[in-house]
């Protein structure tokens, strides 16, 4: 057997490492196979110098420079019409050599109007240096090639996202099974196409055929298990790349998850592995850092989509109260850090819940209903005193957490405008009873018209309008809230008035827009830096 090669993560850091084919570290997960582009009949690209089966493209770009290498990152499908193609053999050789050194995936040569055919000398130099060369027919614009690469990248991204979501649900379901550890290993093996093994002082479970581990592997396992050691590592045991990840308490010996397969993990694989690691940590009830990661994941899963997955909902009472009686209702809290210092990691004690997701702005949390109005006011006041401006939804059953999430988001906008924490009205709003939820959302979509789209421009305009209305039409406060220039805010509001055919100086129109925004489905507002659409 070949000697294993090892790579160990820095202590305290996770490193689900995989080879990066390009010089700036871009991985295969951010590229598309060149063979996929060649298979597009609408492009009709013809390979003159074939590429390796595993060749990947990060983007298609056009350059007629004599030396485009300084402007490339590696992995490009470089398109040229040969406008400045050297005719001198030595200069042509330098041109091809520079592209190979820049790690260009392939050169696409467009025939006409400069050249009626691909020069034989270029074909010969590309073949000599191993640079794939494609003929781009006259009927195929370069922009069509670039667009095709973009389409394939987006298709792969969406497929990876769907795969991640499906695997997350399956792993979560496994975590509440009768034998959760073994079911998690089985589900992880199926999702990644690998063998898995969980090791403590003795084997705790395995799926698939685990190869004999060499001495170097046992030494690496010992390091990962040791408190203060690396959280993850990898080694090569032919034909598999083997990944190790710590599970358990940083203060004492940890268990180690091993998995192996011939193909290195891509970014989606590593994200799926992260879910499994978090859930195994949650099951161990041992390592606070890992449990926090699992709680973040559980919070996102519970607040994603119109209705949470029933298997995830079954975890909710145990995550919030452990062995205590299950809550009868839940609330969603949104909080924003208001002090100039860096945002701290939210404290479960301060937030009165373990289910906190601080991976985006604002911070979101799910907590058991405290029972009394005073208890919720006390929670909000304590958070405010600690530097968090927060808003809390009404109590809802677990199946309605998405609605509570949206309500908390809208309340936080109002809280941000007034500078005070906010609870929903204790008395039911009689206007709310006039419209069923589905009818209200349909009305909201009708009122918003072209602003109801799911594209980035529509989302930016809705976010701007929501903030502007919450700040009672203040240009400066809205601009500060969005991190945009006040002129950009003015432009966006004017565009909204033009697109909807309304006058927002009319209080009734403002009321209609607030009604629509507060009831628009799946539009929970956050405040990332807004892209300036005024140009």
3-state DSSP assignment of residue 8:
strand
Q: List the structure tokens of 108.
A: 């696409």
Residue 416 and residue 467: Cα distance in Å, rounded? 9
Confidence grade of residue 524 (pLDDT, cut at 50, 70, 90) = very low
Place of tokens 């697109």: 499
464 neighbors 494 (Cβ within 8 angstroms): no
Cβ neighbours for 353, distance < 8 A, ≥ 6 positions apart: 320, 333, 365, 366, 367, 368
What is the percent of the chain where pLDDT is above 90?
52
Place of tokens 């109002």: 414
3-state DSSP assignment of residue 397:
coil
Sign of CA dihedral 302, 308, 309, 315: positive
Q: Cα 454 to the chain's mean position, in Å?
A: 17
Q: List the structure tokens of 509.
A: 């129109």
- Altogether, the residues listed in the chain come to a count of 535
| Higher per-residue confidence, 225 vs 307 | 225
Mean pLDDT of 290-294: 53
pLDDT surpassing 80 at residue 449: yes
| Higher per-residue confidence, 68 vs 314 | 68
pLDDT surpassing 70 at residue 161: yes
3-state DSSP assignment of residue 228:
coil
Region for residue 305 given its phi and psi (left: phi exceeds 0; alpha: psi -120 to 50; beta: otherwise): left
Of residues 297, 355, 306, the one with CA closest to residue 167: 297
What does DSSP assign to residue 26? Answer: -
Q: Return phi, psi of residue 288, to 5°.
A: -55, -40
Which residues in 12-46 are b (16+ Cβ under 10 Å) and which e? eebbbbbeebbeeebbbbbbbbbebbbebeebebe
pLDDT surpassing 80 at residue 247: yes
The rounded mean pLDDT for the chain is 84
pLDDT digits (tens, 9 = 90+) for 326-355: 788 999 999 998 888 777 778 777 788 888
pLDDT surpassing 80 at residue 382: yes
Confidence grade of residue 427 (pLDDT, cut at 50, 70, 90) = low
Residue 444 and residue 337: Cα distance in Å, rounded? 30
Sign of CA dihedral 357, 299, 275, 226: positive
What pLDDT is attached to residue 49? 98
Q: Render 258-317 in DSSP notation, one character per residue.
A: EEEESSPP-HHHHHHHHHHHHHHHHHHT--HHHHHHHHHHHHHHHTSSSS--HHHHTTHH
Q: List the structure tokens of 484.
A: 């945009």
Residue 140 and residue 149: Cα distance in Å, rounded? 14
pLDDT surpassing 70 at residue 4: no
What does DSSP assign to residue 230? Answer: B
Residue 83 and residue 114: Cα distance in Å, rounded? 6
* Least confident piece of the model among 144-158, 225-239, 347-361: 347-361
Element at 34 (helix H, strand E) = helix 34-38
Q: Cα 532 to the chain's mean position, in Å?
A: 22
Q: For strand 232-237 and strand 195-199, is the pairing parallel, antiparallel, or unpaired?
A: unpaired
What pLDDT is attached to residue 257? 96
Of residues 386, 416, 385, 380, the one with CA closest to residue 525: 416
- DSSP lists the bridge partners of residue 11 as 230
- For residue 431, the tally of other CB atoms under 10 A from its CB is 8
Q: Render 332-350 in DSSP notation, one character per residue.
A: EEEEEE-SSSPPPPPPHHH
3-state DSSP assignment of residue 515:
helix
244 neighbors 220 (Cβ within 8 angstroms): yes
What is the percent of the chain where pLDDT is above 70?
83
Q: List the structure tokens of 76.
A: 């490009």
What pLDDT is attached to residue 483? 82
What pLDDT is attached to residue 534? 36
Residue 65 and residue 83: Cα distance in Å, rounded? 9
């Amino acid at each position: 057997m070949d000697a294993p090669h090892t790579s160990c993560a820095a202590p305290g850091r996770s490193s689900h490492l995989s080879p990066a084919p390009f010089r700036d570290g871009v991985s295969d997960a951010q590229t598309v196979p060149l063979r996929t582009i060649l298979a597009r009949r609408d492009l009709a690209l013809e390979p003159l110098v074939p590429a390796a089966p595993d060749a990947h493209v990060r983007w298609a770009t056009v350059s007629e420079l004599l030396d485009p290498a300084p402007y490339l990152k590696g992995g490009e499908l470089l398109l040229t019409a040969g406008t400045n193609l050297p005719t001198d053999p030595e200069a042509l050789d330098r041109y091809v050599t520079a592209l190979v050194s820049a790690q260009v995936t392939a050169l696409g040569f467009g025939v006409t109007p400069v050249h009626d055919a691909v020069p034989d000398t270029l074909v010969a130099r590309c073949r000599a240096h191993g640079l794939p060369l494609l003929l781009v027919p006259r009927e195929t614009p370069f922009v069509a090639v670039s667009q095709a690469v973009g389409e394939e990248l987006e298709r792969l991204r969406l497929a990876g996202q769907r795969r991640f979501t499906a695997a997350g649900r399956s792993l979560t379901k496994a975590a509440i099974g009768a034998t959760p550890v073994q079911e998690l290993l089985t589900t992880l093996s199926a999702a990644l196409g690998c063998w898995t093994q969980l090791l403590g002082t003795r084997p705790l479970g395995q799926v698939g055929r685990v190869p004999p581990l060499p001495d170097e592997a046992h030494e690496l396992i010992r390091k990962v298990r040791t408190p203060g050691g690396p959280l993850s590592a990898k080694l090569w045991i032919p034909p598999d790349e083997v990944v190790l990840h710590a599970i358990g308490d940083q203060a004492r010996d940890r268990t180690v998850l091993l998995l192996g397969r011939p193909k290195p993990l891509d970014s989606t694989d590593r994200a799926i592995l992260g879910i499994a690691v978090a859930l195994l940590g949650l099951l161990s009830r041992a390592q606070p850092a890992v449990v926090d990661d699992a709680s973040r994941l559980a919070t996102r899963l519970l607040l994603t989509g119109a209705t949470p997955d029933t298997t995830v909902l079954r975890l909710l009472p145990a995550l919030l109260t452990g062995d205590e009686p299950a809550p009868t209702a839940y609330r969603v809290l949104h909080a924003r850090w208001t002090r100039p210092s860096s945002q701290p990691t939210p404290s479960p004690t301060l937030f009165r819940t373990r289910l906190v997701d601080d991976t985006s702005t604002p911070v979101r949390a799910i907590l058991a209903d405290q029972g009394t109005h005073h208890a919720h006011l006390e929670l909000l006041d304590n958070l405010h005193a600690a530097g968090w401006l927060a808003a809390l939804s009404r109590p809802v059953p677990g199946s309605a957490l998405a609605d509570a999430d949206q309500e908390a988001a809208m309340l936080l906008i109002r809280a941000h405008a007034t500078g005070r924490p906010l609870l929903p009205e204790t008395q039911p709003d009689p206007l709310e009873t006039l419209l069923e939820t589905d009818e209200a959302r349909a009305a909201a979509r009708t009122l918003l018209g072209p602003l109801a789209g799911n594209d980035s421009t529509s989302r930016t305009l809705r976010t701007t309008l929501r903030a502007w209305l919450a700040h009672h039409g203040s240009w400066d406060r809205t601009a500060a809230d969005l991190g945009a220039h006040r002129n950009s805010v003015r432009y966006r509001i004017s565009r909204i008035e033009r697109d909807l055919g309304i006058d927002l100086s009319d209080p009734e129109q403002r009321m209609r827009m607030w009604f629509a925004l507060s009831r628009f489905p799946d539009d929970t507002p956050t405040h990332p830096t807004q892209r300036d659409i005024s140009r």
